[in-house]
């Protein structure tokens, strides 16, 4: 099997076998090397190239312009080696050494041209990315149009690299198989575009032959084109608007978290008070020495996409050109930030690997009636926290907590019926850690306080992460079991504080009194009339029953900082 | 002494004269010139002609114009300049002198022997 390439010699297209191509390129290289110092050397080579094309035409007439090594050898034989051609009087008959370094020549590069290939050609000549040369040209435009004049002059002065040998000279590459392949690929692309040009021309000729028809079509085409442009512009404008607004939305959200503009924020099952995003990350998530760097990296990681959204929004809105450079820098910066933040927070991420759950059971031995009252403790240790109904949970003397840096969890509350004869409350505490032991340890890292008495139970609306604990997915589920035939009395305010099933939320919402009663009949909660029970008096000196779990972790409660 | 080298040098010496003479007859492009030179066995490798043409052009003995071709890209058609025509006359005369002298030298000698 042989590989065939397509080349263009002096305007003629040939198919050429790979070995033949190599040989021919070598020959051109030798010619260039030999004549480049001579006056008019370029012209000599170009003339020879034209003749070679002619010879190939004659030789391959019967075989569909396929040039094989045989034809190349024959042509070289006809044309002779460079040293045989030399016209000078002191012509040396020895072939020059082949390893002579190939010198680059300045050409315009039509294959990579934006206008006429001046910048691309210059770039190839001085081995510089043409984008830099283009920038220089553009920068020079405001200074009296110097950029444009310079470009025009160079356009006139520098010849175009029209042939394969010109291209080889222009790039000054050492000729090897890889380079040839690349060049031929470029050349094929170039031919394709040329072909398109031709087809455009053909179309044009077709229109020209029918003047009346042409006029109609042209008008139609023109109006379609204008319409299309307007539609594209409008779509771009809308897209830009959407991107810009989304970006600004994200930016505001980011700023709220970053500067802690709101007194407290609730997300998922947690409730953060007086805590900015960096402080939150630093105090509760990142378990590393380099937490400052990690926080900066994470902030950059979040900011770059937001900035790019806004940037691209503005670009579409005002129809600005795409800045590849900005995009590249942003993308690379984002990658660096991603790697740094992942690297530094790896340990912290890993410490979410294992989960553990701890269940504690509580019975209500002191209960004096068949009704269990579930009350909301509004006198918790959560000073100045504004709950979602703007009710200020009052200050607590027992716990003087820091003004900022509070991290609260919102427990979920479930009320279920049971076959057992007694009321029961189960607390499901869970947390994550890098292994099970650590997960258990992290369960001890948060407090939940409640108080049992003869009436029922007083529940705090939040559980709190210990001051020096990290957030490790701590969660608390409260399940209260009601036996058959017995009742519960729920404080209506519960619905605003706990994570409740929809069932209970609805029931509490439809409840007209401050406290509502339900009795379990056939495992179903039936609404019951208000019983004559003394309302529970809430005082500030409540002695809490601490959950069993808190006694386990007293040894751990040493500050980590 | 390399006899091929000497022969090549001899041909090369007259190549300029012959090329000018062919072009003087009728404006020609490179392939025409090659045809004629080849039929007279005056060149071995075609490549020889191109450096010569360029040199003659640079010495302003020749000039060329581009002419459209029905079968391919445009061709360079060479024609003599005024200076070229003058040079051709001078060269033709010196060729006549040279050949006469050489013939005289070579063949008279043989007859004497």
Over residues A194-218, mean pLDDT = 55
Q: What phi, psi does B94 have (nearest 5°)?
A: -70, -30
Which helix (H) or strand (E) segment holds residue A197: the answer is helix A177-209
Which among A39, A47, A88 is the nearest to B50, CB-wise? A47
| Residues 6+ away with beta carbon under 8 Å from A228 | none
Kindly tell me if the per-residue pLDDT of A36 is higher than 80: no
- Contact predicate A474/A442, CB 8 Å: yes
Q: Which residues contact A175 (CB under 8 A, 6 or more apart)?
A: A22, A25, A26, A29, A168
Of all helices (H) and strands (E), which one includes residue A73? helix A69-79
Per-residue pLDDT band at A529 (split at 50, 70, 90): low
A103-114 pLDDT per residue, tens: 677 888 887 777
Q: Which of B9, B18, B54, B75 to mutate to test the interface with A (most CBs of A within 10 A)?
A: B54
Reply yes or no on whether the pLDDT at A367 is more than 70: yes
**Could you report the per-residue pLDDT of A368-422, keeping only the tens digit for each?**
888 888 887 765 544 444 443 433 343 333 333 333 445 667 788 999 988 888 8
* Chain A partners within 8 Å of B45 (Cβ): 77-81, 84-85
For residue A56, the model assigns a pLDDT of 87
- Answer yes or no: do A80 and B5 touch at CB < 8 A: no
d(CA A370, CA A486): 5
- Of the two residues B16 and A283, the one the predictor is more confident about is B16
Cα A6 from Cα A27, distance rounded (Å):
18
Cβ A48–B47 below 8 Å, yes or no? yes
Cα–Cα distances in angstroms (integers) from residue A213 to residues A204, A207, A216, A316, in the given order: 12, 7, 5, 38
Entry field: residues in chain B: 113
Residue A320 pLDDT > 50: yes
Residues above pLDDT 70, as percent of chain A: 71
Q: Confidence band (pLDDT; 50, 70, 90) for A87?
A: low
Beta bridge mates, A500? A413
Give the nearest partner residue to A11 out of B8, B51, B72, using CB atoms. Answer: B72
Check pLDDT > 60 for residue A212: no
What CA–CA distance (Å, rounded) separates A309 from A305? 6
Q: Would an 8 Å CB–CB cutoff place A194 in contact with chain B?
A: no
Q: For position B97, what pLDDT does the model report?
A: 92
Place A478 in a pLDDT band, splitting at 50, 70 and 90: very high
Mean pLDDT value across residues A265-284: 64
Q: What's the rounded mean pLDDT across residues A241-266?
A: 78
What mean pLDDT is reported for chain A? 74
pLDDT over 80 at B92, yes or no: yes
Select from B31, B48, B57 the Cβ nearest to the Cβ of A54.
Answer: B31
Residue A216: pLDDT over 80: no
Rounded to an integer, the average pLDDT of A23-41 is 82
Backbone angles phi, psi at A189, to 5 degrees: -60, -45
Q: Both tokens of residue A76?
A: 């070289």
Asked whether the predicted pLDDT for residue A494 surpasses 60, the reply is: yes
Contact A53 B72 (CB under 8 A): yes
pLDDT surpassing 50 at residue A534: no
Query: How do residues B33-91 score in pLDDT, each as one tens digit?
Result: 888 888 888 877 888 888 888 888 888 888 888 888 777 778 888 999 999 999 999 99
Among residues A212, A269, A218, the alpha carbon closest in space to that of A461 is found at A269
Beta-carbon count within 10 A of B18 CB: 18
Nearest partner of A124 among A181, A166, A178, judged by Cα: A166
Average pLDDT over residues A490-498: 80
Asked whether the beta carbons of B11 and B3 are under 8 A apart, the reply is no
The pLDDT tens digits of the residues spanning A123-174 come to: 888 877 888 888 888 877 766 667 777 888 888 778 888 776 677 777 775 5
More confident residue, A52 or A387: A52
Q: Tell me the Cα Rg of chain B.
A: 17
Range among A57-66, A206-215, A297-306, A460-469 rated most confident? A297-306
Query: How, if at all, do strands A66-67 and A12-17 pair?
Result: parallel
A chain contacts of residue B73, beta-carbon cutoff 8 Å: 10-12, 50, 53
Phi-psi region of A384 (alpha: psi -120 to 50; beta: other; left: phi over 0): left
User: Higher model confidence: residue A547 or residue B89?
Assistant: B89
Instruction: Report the sign of the C-alpha dihedral through residues A249, A254, A260, A266, in that order.
Output: positive
Residue A479 has a pLDDT of 92
pLDDT at A97 over 50: no
User: Tokens 């692309």 map to which residue?
Assistant: A189
Instruction: Give the Cα separation of A415 and A456 in Å (integer).
Output: 14
Tell me if chain B has a CB within 8 Å of the CB of A74.
Answer: no
Give yes or no for residue A265 having a pLDDT over 60.
no
Strands A385-386, A392-393: pairing is antiparallel
In contact, A410 and A387? CB cutoff 8 Å:
no
Is A62 an interface residue toward B (CB < 8 Å)?
A: no
In DSSP terms, which residues pair with A408 in a beta bridge? Answer: A271, A464
H helix intervals, A281-424: 291-317, 324-344, 346-350
3-state helix, strand, coil split of chain A in percent (to 5) is 50, 20, 35
- Beta strands A524-528 and B28-29 are unpaired
Q: What is the pLDDT, as a whole number, of residue A517?
A: 87
User: What is the arithmetic mean of pLDDT over A281-286?
Assistant: 71
Mean pLDDT of A299-315: 87
Question: Residue A467 pLDDT more than 70?
Answer: no
Strands of the sheet containing A412-418, edge to edge, are: A354-363, A424-433, A475-483, A412-418, A499-500
Q: By the 8 A CB rule, do A175 and A164 touch?
A: no
Residues A186 and A111: beta-carbon distance below 8 Å: yes
User: What are B5-25's pLDDT values in tens digits?
Assistant: 788 778 888 888 999 999 998
The owner of tokens 């260039």 is: A32
Q: Report how far residue A222's alpha carbon sits from residue A219's, in angstroms, rounded to the nearest whole number.
A: 5
In percent, the amount of chain A with pLDDT more than 90 equals 2
The kind and range of the H/E element at A490 are strand A487-491
What is the mean pLDDT of the segment spanning A475-480? 90
Cβ-nearest to B46 among A51, A53, A93: A51
Beta-carbon pairs below 8 A across chains A and B: 74
pLDDT at A552 over 60: no
Mean pLDDT of A351-365: 86
3-state SS string over A293-320? HHHHHHHHHHHHHHHHHHHHHHHHHCCC
* Rounded Cα gap, residues A117 and A137, in angstroms: 13
Beginning with the edge strand found earlier in the chain, give each strand of the sheet holding B28-29 in spatial order. Answer: B28-29, B72-80, B62-69
Length reported for chain A = 561
Contact A264, A274 (CB under 8 A): yes
**pTM metric for this prediction:** 0.42
User: What is the Cα–Cα distance from A115 to B3, expressed in whole angstroms?
Assistant: 56
- Could A81 and B45 be called an inter-chain contact, meaning their C-beta atoms sit closer than 8 Å? yes
Q: Measured between CB atoms, which of A10, A40, A78 is closest to B45?
A: A78
Number of H-type helices and E-type strands within chain B: 4, 3
A68 versus A179: which is more confidently predicted?
A68
């Amino acid at each position: 099997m042989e590989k065939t390439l397509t080349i263009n010699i002096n305007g003629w297209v040939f198919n050429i076998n790979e070995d033949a191509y190599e040989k021919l390129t070598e020959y051109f290289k030798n010619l260039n090397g030999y004549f480049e110092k001579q006056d008019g050397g370029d012209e000599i080579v170009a003339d020879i190239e034209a003749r070679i094309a002619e010879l190939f035409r004659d030789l391959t007439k019967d075989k569909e312009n396929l040039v094989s090594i045989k034809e190349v050898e024959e042509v070289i034989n006809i044309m002779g080696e460079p040293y045989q051609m030399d016209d000078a009087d002191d012509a040396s008959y020895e072939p020059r050494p082949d390893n002579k370094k190939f010198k680059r020549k300045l050409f315009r590069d039509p294959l990579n041209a934006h206008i006429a290939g001046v910048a691309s050609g210059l770039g190839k000549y001085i081995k510089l990315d043409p984008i830099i040369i283009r920038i220089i040209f553009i920068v020079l435009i405001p200074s009296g149009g110097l950029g444009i004049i310079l470009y025009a002059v160079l356009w006139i002065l520098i010849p175009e690299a029209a042939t394969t040998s010109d291209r080889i000279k222009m790039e000054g590459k050492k000729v090897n198989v890889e380079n040839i392949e690349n060049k031929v690929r470029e050349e094929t692309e170039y031919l394709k575009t040329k072909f398109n040009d031709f087809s455009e021309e053909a179309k044009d000729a077709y229109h020209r032959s029918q003047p009346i028809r042409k006029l109609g079509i042209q008008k139609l085409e023109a109006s379609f084109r204008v319409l299309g442009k307007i539609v594209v512009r409008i779509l771009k404008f809308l897209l830009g608007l959407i991107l810009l607004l989304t970006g600004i939305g994200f930016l505001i959200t980011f700023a709220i978290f970053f500067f802690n503009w709101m007194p407290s924020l609730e997300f998922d099952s947690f409730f953060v008070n007086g805590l900015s995003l960096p402080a939150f990350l630093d105090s509760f998530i990142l378990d590393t020495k380099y937490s400052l760097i990690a926080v900066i990296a994470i902030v950059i990681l979040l900011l770059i996409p937001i900035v790019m959204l806004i940037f691209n929004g503005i670009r579409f809105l005002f129809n600005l050109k795409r800045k590849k450079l900005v995009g590249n820098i942003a993308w690379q910066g984002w990658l660096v930030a991603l790697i740094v933040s992942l690297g530094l927070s790896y340990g912290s991420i890993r410490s979410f690997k294992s989960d553990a759950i701890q269940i504690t059971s509580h019975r209500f031995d002191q209960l004096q009636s068949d009704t269990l009252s579930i009350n909301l403790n509004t006198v918790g240790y959560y000073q100045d926290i504004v709950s979602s109904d703007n009710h200020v949970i009052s200050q607590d003397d027992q716990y003087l907590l820091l003004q900022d840096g509070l991290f609260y969890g919102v427990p979920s509350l479930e009320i279920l019926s049971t076959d057992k004869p007694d009321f029961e409350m189960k607390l499901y505490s869970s947390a994550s850690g890098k292994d099970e032991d650590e997960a258990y340890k992290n369960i001890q890292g948060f407090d939940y306080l409640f108080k049992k008495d003869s009436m029922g139970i007083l529940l705090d609306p939040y559980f709190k992460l210990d001051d020096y604990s990290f957030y490790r997915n701590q969660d608390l589920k409260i399940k209260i079991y009601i036996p058959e035939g017995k009742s519960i009395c729920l404080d209506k305010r519960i619905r605003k504080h706990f994570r409740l099933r929809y069932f209970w939320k609805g029931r509490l919402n439809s409840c007209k009194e401050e406290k509502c009663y339900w009795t379990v009949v056939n495992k179903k909660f039936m609404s019951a009339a208000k019983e004559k029970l003394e309302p529970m008096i809430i005082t500030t000196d409540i002695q809490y029953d601490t959950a069993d779990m808190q006694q386990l972790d007293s040894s751990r409660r040493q500050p980590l900082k | 002494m390399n006899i091929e080298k000497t022969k090549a040098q001899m041909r090369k010496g007259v190549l300029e004269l012959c090329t000018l003479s062919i072009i003087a007859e009728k404006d020609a492009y490179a392939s025409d010139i090659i045809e004629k030179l080849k039929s007279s066995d005056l060149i071995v490798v075609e490549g020889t002609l191109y450096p010569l043409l360029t040199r003659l052009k640079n010495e302003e003995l020749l000039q060329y114009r581009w002419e459209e071709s029905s079968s391919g890209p445009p061709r360079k058609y060479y024609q003599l300049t005024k200076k070229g025509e003058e040079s051709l006359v001078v060269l033709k005369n010196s060729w006549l002198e040279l050949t006469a002298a050489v013939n005289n030298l070579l063949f008279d000698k043989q007859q004497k022997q």
